[in-house]
Structure 1
């Protein structure tokens, strides 16, 4: 209804050199799931959606398994939308907390 979940495997392709999940990969996942959610929850035939700001706090590391990104809509304005993206591990422990602001531009 107002959230979308995506899952990403934590494998060597998304590791930092020391073998843990790279923060950049986490942020890319967060922006991807919130951007897709924008298209789902807004009228994609009438507007184009772009991310204009993203922030992330990484609070726990992970070496393997899966992470889950849940994008929840905090504010749905006509022009600006604010998304909270919680990235958790398989035990539902917080890995990162992200915030994305998107803008809807009339086509």
Structure 2
């Protein structure tokens, strides 16, 4: 198994919103691939949501009632993207050779 400092932050939360981590020696194992696929979906959804947000914000005649649900969805997408970035940044740091 991986050392504690090599745990992968997964793209979903556990009970009570606590982060979930994966400890494995197999980056191509089932759970790693599942996490990769979910991250890809989350990033794709965030990109689509950004396009929608740009359209709504660019439309001066847009209904103000659209902004609250849009802000909620953007907040959720941003949370997911930050989790992906944190996980991938950690994975990059762990895989880089020690330069000391």
What TM-score, normalized to structure 2? 0.30
- Structure number having the greater helix percentage: 2
* Structure ID, larger Rg: 2
More strand by share: 1
Q: TM-score, normalised by structure 1?
A: 0.28
